[in-house]
A and B are shown apart, each in its own frame.
Chain A
Amino acid sequence: MHELPQQLANGLALGALYGLIAIGYTMVYGIVQLINFAHGEIFMIGGFGALTAYAILPTGTSLLIAIPVMIVGGAICSVAVACAAERFAYRPLRSAPRLAPLITAIGLSIALQQLVWQFYPDAKKAVSFPEFKGAAFKITDSLAIQRADLFVLILAPLCMLALGVFVQKSRSGRAMQATAQDPDTAKLMGINTDRIIVMAFAIGAAFAAVAAVAYGLDKGQINFEMGFILGLKAFTAAVLGGIGNIYGAMVGGVVLGLAEALSIAYIEDIPGMSQLGGGAWSNVWAFVLLIVVLLVRPQGLLGERVADRA
């Protein structure tokens, strides 16, 4: 069991990444009950936006200066695309049957992937992303935390905290809660619900851009397909934590990440289960966990407390 701390660290970092992306699913779902299937691609575009921002910076810029610029650059791109998607793809369908925007989202997802594939220079295969220089931080002999993992582990709670304060305390945040609770009444009370919905998309996209920078720094590469699987996992995390609940998204992400890491490492050590362990089965175990949670708590881990969701 000497590798347990290491596997926990891996799972936490992966889960924090899932959580950051899951925010986008859960915010949008909380307010307009739409599964924005293109959110994985918003994440991907955030990554390419960040890379473009990095390319504009003079070569040799220290990563400490570059990272904020990359996050801003990535966020500008992803927020712009998300707002455009909301305005031109989802808003016209807001009163349409629920399946119409869902299918639109899937179509948008493919379209965005192909656009990047076609038009971003060299994006037909994975493109390199700047990485942290230097070795991992050695905490103990059996625990080393990668710099990029540390980055996401610090940034994700900070982002969550900021979002929590924003939703609870600020005027716009309360308007958001009101819209989530009852859009029609909110509108009658003078809330510009269209603006609130755009805001939900934008916040989700900005979080996705942060996640994309963290992802790129960790893996050292990004590609046009990376949003697909990660988006699916983040969506799973959102459902696991209770879709519509922003804290649920983070909790779901962390639980999912831990489940994957631990199942890769330990299932095969259980006598008689060696065939069912390892990386081949990690997704299976993650989804088994999802099903079990949904059987016991169909509303997800943190429930779908209607008054709170935003």
Chain B
Amino acid sequence: MRHRSLLVLTTVITTGALTLTACGSRDGGDSKDNGGGKKTTVVIGVDAPLTGSLSALGQGIKNSVDLAAKTANKNNEVPGIEFKVEALDDQAVPASGQANATKLVGNKDVLGVVGPLNSGVAQQMQGVFNSANLAQVSPANTNPALSQGDNWGKGEFKRGFKTYFRTAATDVVQGKFAAQYLFKDAGKKKVFIVDDKQTYGAGLAAIFAEEFKKLGGEVVGTDHVTVKETDFSSTADKVKTSGADSVYFGGQYPEGGLLADQIKKTGANVPLMGGDGIQDPAFISASGEANEGDLATSIGYPVEKLDTAKKFIEDYKAEGYKDPYAAYGGYSYDAGWAVIQAVKAAVAANGGKLPTDARAKVVEALGKVSFEGVTGKVAFDEYGDTTNKQLTVYKVEGGKWVDVKSDTFNQ
């Protein structure tokens, strides 16, 4: 009896951990031909969390890429090519992302992949795609190391994976922008920093902290929270007693919303600021306490305000997707469109037919892509990062994210 409970405990915990990682892929696309004649099928893979607490963002990514493919087919963007989308669910779990990457690589019709949402997932996928020479464009990854190598912080930039591209600006840009806004525009001098220990959250918080200190601000305390936990009241009380006038949170909206709420409940009337991970309606709607005054940076100008995005929004509505395009819809559409443009260039260079080494040619063409997209000009620099460094600060006003400052970031 005595040993049993320990044994059972370990069993349960291990299996619990396994269930988190094991239930991954769900077959989204069908690869069979419509029999529409001689058109060659090119599949654009999508990897994003389609279920789980980040599914609001993942579904937006999937639908936006789907819209890009449909638009290309309708306009006959690449003559002789029919685009299809195969969407796989990674549940924001790195191991699932890797399994999905292997699956996409195995389908020879896949010439480009849009995704994933999470930087931590991307880390596990890059190697798989690189060895298969399959292009990957993430609409949402912001961790600098993904494109600039692990030593980017020391000023050594080295592109690790030639197949990796992204339409999202990195956390270097975002973290610094946030620090400058909080220090200069909002006039906050004492910040308490919390992160969720994930690749994205911890990275962003570190960049923010460095810039905030450089500007002359003071970091009065730090703490970490665990993803999927919900009781942060002890951390919230630490924020209160630290005397901070603001909180910076590196992480995603499920924990961010709860943390902001619980900090307000302690009576500490300080705004919480975060990155694009918390800039979601769910951040506000999920917790009852008012989030008024909380801040978030997000990449790009607000999609609703860009002239280039109007058509995207109209088309998205017309398609009648069940979920909204969410924070990364525009970037996902652009990422999908970049893949389509790369396929177009590869086909054009090969006399109107898909080249035999299509994947390599698409990677090559992707580096040279340049077009006016939903979110502005889409092009990639020598690391595969977007050349578009526009950022916006959003503030919760009247229960909604309202943009308060948009700017182009230059160091």
Contact = CB atoms under 8 A, between A and B. Distances in A.
Is B one of A's binding partners? yes
Interface in B280-335: 282, 285-289
A106 to B, nearest CB: 6
Interface in A199-224: 215, 219-221, 223
29 contacts: A3-B237, A10-B233, A35-B8, A37-B16, A106-B16, A106-B19, A109-B19, A114-B51, A124-B51, A126-B53, A126-B254, A126-B285, A128-B287, A131-B288, A146-B233, A219-B230, A219-B258, A219-B287, A221-B258, A223-B286, A226-B230, A229-B228, A232-B12, A232-B13, A232-B16, A264-B235, A265-B238, A299-B1, A304-B1
A7 B236 CA distance: 10
Contacts of A280: 197, 223-226
Interface stretch (B80-88, B130-138, B259-267): B259-267
Given A37-B12, A126-B257, A294-B6, A279 B235 contact: yes
B410 interface: no
Contact of B234 (A125, A226, A264): A264
Nearest to A10: B233
Interface residues on B, range: 35 or more
A162 interface: no
A124 to B, nearest CB: 5
A142 B286 CA distance: 28
Interface of B: 1-3, 5-6, 8-9, 11-13, 15-16, 19-20, 23, 51-53, 55-56, 194, 197, 222-226, 228-235, 237-238, 241, 254, 257-258, 261-262, 265-267, 282, 285-289
A13 B233 CA distance: 10
Given A225-B52, A261-B233, 12 more contacts: A6-B237, A126-B286, A146-B265, A215-B230, A220-B286, A221-B257, A221-B287, A278-B235, A279-B194, A279-B226, A282-B226, A283-B226
Main secondary structure of the interface of B (DSSP, over half): helix
A2 interface: yes
Interface string A32-56: 0001010000000000000000000
Nearest to A257: B231
B312 to A, nearest CB: 23
A14 interface: yes
A14 B231 contact: yes
A125 B56 contact: yes
B225 to A, nearest CB: 5
A128 B23 CA distance: 27
Contacts of A230: 230
A129 interface: yes
Contacts of B12: 35, 37, 102, 106, 232, 235
B310 to A, nearest CB: 27
Contacts of B234: 7, 10-11, 260-261, 264-265, 279, 282
B226 A10 contact: no
Closest 5 A/B residue pairs (Cβ): A220-B288, A280-B224, A131-B288, A126-B286, A264-B234
Interface in A255-310: 260-261, 264-265, 278-280, 282-283, 294, 298-300, 304
Contact of B287 (A215, A220, A264): A220
Contacts of A127: 286
B222 A278 contact: yes
A2 B226 contact: no
A294 B232 CA distance: 27
A182 to B, nearest CB: 14
